[in-house]
Structure 1
Amino acid sequence: MADTKVFIVDDSAVVRQVLTGLLDSLPGIKVIGAAPDPIFALARMEKDWPDVIILDIEMPRMDGITFLKKLMHEHPTPVVICSTLTARGAEVTMQAMSAGAVDIITKPTVNLKGFLQDSKTLLADAIKGAAHARLKKSSVPTGKPLEGSPKLTADAVLAHTSLITMTETTDRVVAIGTSTGGTQALEYVLTRLPRTTPGIVIVQHMPEAFTAAFAKRLDSLCQITVKEAEQNDRVIPGLALIAPGGKHMLLRRSGAQYRVEIKDGPLVSRHRPSVDVLFRSAAQAAGKNVLGIIMTGMGDDGAHGMKELHDTGALCIAQDEASCVVYGMPKEAVKLGGTDGELPLSGIPNLIIQSPNRAKFLKG
């Protein structure tokens, strides 16, 4: 299989040098060029178009968002945003994600080389995921993340227990997990939900400092309230809680109420927050009272947790291949037998609004 060709656009010579050296050391990835701004980049890329572009946002002559919009209109190409860990960087990055970027990698203002070395596996996964992104309706093979650090399961955060049969109630919880392409997919779904929607808990793979800006953006667009989750937040109708980047989020039951627990822990399925952790906790706390949804994303995070959730009697749905940017996570959940069916992205809002139980859904 040919290497994934990467082009770097960043006005910092240090960033270009460090990223080039790091990426060229990874199997299956080849940096074919780098440029300090989009004008230089376009001239260089015309000779050899890359599979993935790593793009800074604030650059001279043409900013990253203007370039991204031009690119998506004229020559759609998977773009991974390279953004600083600042509030300003997070806010602008959300604009870029809305404009069509498929993932984010972060860069600190100090100790860039050490930071990127520590994040090597996540960086590789972001690029491989972007390379498989479907920006047009076409058949693209899914791949597996590059090997790196040990891949832990949800056991590292939450012990597996015997399933307990829950009494089915009218107090429902919607649990959603997604990754590559998920920012656009979540915006599509959440902006179509009324205030009477059951409480929603969401894991979107995203770096620390970006989830708050993402939640704020969605909150400004939606009828429901959207916020970055905090410790002991209640899960109530009309509210969507997004797991904070760099932390795991678990669903807990306290008496008649559902709340979330935010906790540290190792990467699970190479992610923190992890969909597997959320889904396992939902299976233990709410069982068949959960509607589980797994959407577009690279890899298999959430597949095992969804199988556990499904085994409690919960209705579990995967986004279908045709509407996914990357049909990875949903595909793995289907393969494990953890889903009751697949729906296009356009069908997911109505599913949440109806919030059917499993028997009703299967009956049609």
Structure 2
Amino acid sequence: MTIKVMIVDDSSIMRQVVQEVLSKHPDIEVIGAAPDPLFAMTRMKLKWPDVLLLDIEMPRMDGITFLKQIMAEHPTPVVICSTLTQKGADITMEALAAGAVSVITKPTLGLRDFLQDSSNDLVSAIRAAARARVSNLRTLTSRPVTPSSGGASSYAGSSGGSTAASVRERMEGGKQSADVILNAPTGNAFLPTTEKIVALGTSTGGTQALEVILTALPRTIPGVVVVQHMPEKFTKSFADRLNNMCEVDVMEASHNDRIVPGRVLIAPGGKHMVVKRSGAQYHVDVVDGPLVSRHRPSVDVLFRSVAKAAGRNAVGFIMTGMGDDGAQGLKEMHDTGATTYAQDEASCVVFGMPKEAIELGGVDEVIGLDRIAGLIQRVGK
């Protein structure tokens, strides 16, 4: 099936280069390109796209307003193009909350070279969006947020980080295993401890799913570690937004942060997050390194480190997302005694990562999204 794409961006260079990049892929057809949403809507009425590639800051109508209109009138998978700046990150969080599937980044300078080098990311995002269940996104983004406490709310998959180094790694085949970061677990027995930890891994559709889960958790839960595929800078905005909405403390992880009850640590974009144990306590290391399973941060790296450091003292959840990152790591958690879960197809936006984990044999139970918060609360009781 050919994926029909509409490009909406006020940059003529952006429109031209994206069309050039996508024209090289026979499964993708650009059916139109428009400088703003009003022009786009006129064209879309003649031929509706399967995926909308949307800039945020445009004349006449901004991308957020257009996105909300599309999701209300004719729900369509939308991939947001955002600048790799803090302002771009903050606005992108609002777009994801409004129903965008994922985000790709673009620099303020050197756009042509960047897009050509990052063509794999762009194409992967479009293919993932075409497979997304937009109906599930609408359900997630329309849910009322009712945390026990916390402030008012204000708001991809992406491979995490868009530096020249990560671009080179993707072009050279970033399908490396977690071996490049840490050795596999040996299966040794773990000393008993009252400290339990919960590990979550997700990608496309994960920002919305994590919001549903984390806003439902009380401060009495065990410490939680999360990998959400997202570019650098964006994870900070994502964590800050969730922290304002949740009773639990949500923060972008820093080197040597402790994993403690009532705290959620989100791996920073462009870095891997590794769990380590010291006595009866757990903490995280934030480390550089190559892409693993084409991602940094990688779910496989996080899950393997949890398997090594915690074993049966841990619980793992692999959630909505494209690809197979996390499948091997969850199997390693399972094999060292952790309890493991996969989100079911019916509640996923993209049933890629959970499906791979199930087929690999690393999943104890397949569950709906609506059960995950309750299971987290039961850990350690």
Answer whether TM exceeds 0.5 for this pair: yes
Contact 1:268 1:274 survives alignment (8 Å)? yes
Q: In 2, Cα distance between the equivalents of 1:304 and 1:165?
A: 20
Q: In 2, Cα distance between the equivalents of 1:26 and 1:255?
A: 52
Q: In 2, Cα distance between the equivalents of 1:37 and 1:26?
A: 25
Contact 1:235 1:258 survives alignment (8 Å)? yes
In the alignment, what sits opposite 1:10?
A: 9
In the alignment, what sits opposite 2:95?
A: 96
CA deviations 1:224-254 (Å, max 9, x no partner) are 0111110111111111011011111111112
Q: In 2, Cα distance between the equivalents of 1:129 and 1:78?
A: 9
The residue type equivalent to 2:297 in the other structure is P
In the alignment, what sits opposite 2:227?
A: 203
1:227-242 aligned within 5 A: 227-242=251-266
Contact 1:5 1:50 survives alignment (8 Å)? yes
Q: In 2, Cα distance between the equivalents of 1:63 and 1:174?
A: 39
In the alignment, what sits opposite 2:297?
A: 273
Contact 2:304 2:330 survives alignment (8 Å)? yes
SS of the residue corresponding to residue 136 of structure 1 reads: helix
CA deviations 1:305-347 (Å, max 9, x no partner) are 0000000110000111100000010011011110111111111
Unaligned 5+ segments in structure 1 are 139-144, 358-364
1:318-357 aligned within 5 A: 318-355=342-379
Q: In 2, Cα distance between the equivalents of 1:243 and 1:285?
A: 17
How far apart are residue 112 of structure 1 and its match? 1.0
Of 195-204 and 114-123, deviating more is 114-123
The residue type equivalent to 1:119 in the other structure is S
In the alignment, what sits opposite 2:340?
A: 316
Contact 1:122 1:270 survives alignment (8 Å)? no
In the alignment, what sits opposite 1:362?
A: none
Runs of 4+ in 1 over 6 A off after TM superposition: none
1:111 aligns with 2:135: no
How far apart are residue 26 of structure 1 and its match? 3.0
The residue type equivalent to 2:258 in the other structure is R
SS of the residue corresponding to residue 57 of structure 2 reads: coil
Within the candidate set 316, 322, 343, 1:298 is matched to 322
SS of the residue corresponding to residue 133 of structure 2 reads: coil
Percent identity, aligned pairs only, is 62
Contact 1:5 1:52 survives alignment (8 Å)? yes
How far apart are residue 163 of structure 1 and its match? 1.7
1:251 aligns with 2:250: no
How far apart are residue 283 of structure 1 and its match? 0.3
CA deviations 1:266-315 (Å, max 9, x no partner) are 11111110000000010001111111001100011000100000001100
Q: In 2, Cα distance between the equivalents of 1:53 and 1:173?
A: 39
The residue type equivalent to 1:317 in the other structure is Y
Of 97-106 and 253-262, deviating more is 253-262
In the alignment, what sits opposite 1:22?
A: 21
In the alignment, what sits opposite 2:82?
A: 83
The residue type equivalent to 1:334 in the other structure is I
In the alignment, what sits opposite 1:180?
A: 204
Q: In 2, Cα distance between the equivalents of 1:313 and 1:22?
A: 46
How far apart are residue 124 of structure 1 and its match? 1.6
SS of the residue corresponding to residue 259 of structure 2 reads: coil
In the alignment, what sits opposite 1:220?
A: 244
How far apart are residue 169 of structure 1 and its match? 2.9
Of 111-120 and 50-59, deviating more is 111-120
How far apart are residue 137 of structure 1 and its match? 6.2
How far apart are residue 149 of structure 1 and its match? 4.2
User: How many residues are aligned here?
Assistant: 349
SS of the residue corresponding to residue 46 of structure 1 reads: helix
How far apart are residue 32 of structure 1 and its match? 1.4
1:171 aligns with 2:170: no
How far apart are residue 118 of structure 1 and its match? 2.5
CA deviations 1:170-209 (Å, max 9, x no partner) are 2111100000000000000000000111101100000111
Q: In angstroms, what is the RMSD of aligned CA positions?
A: 1.6
In the alignment, what sits opposite 2:152?
A: none
Contact 1:121 1:149 survives alignment (8 Å)? no
The residue type equivalent to 2:88 in the other structure is G
Contact 2:185 2:332 survives alignment (8 Å)? no
1:64-79 aligned within 5 A: 64-79=63-78
SS of the residue corresponding to residue 75 of structure 2 reads: coil
The residue type equivalent to 2:282 in the other structure is Y
Q: In 1, Cα distance between the equivalents of 2:290 and 2:184?
A: 16
CA deviations 1:74-107 (Å, max 9, x no partner) are 1110001000011111001000000100100000
Contact 1:303 1:329 survives alignment (8 Å)? yes
Contact 1:168 1:288 survives alignment (8 Å)? no
Contact 2:5 2:32 survives alignment (8 Å)? yes
Contact 1:296 1:326 survives alignment (8 Å)? yes
How far apart are residue 120 of structure 1 and its match? 2.0
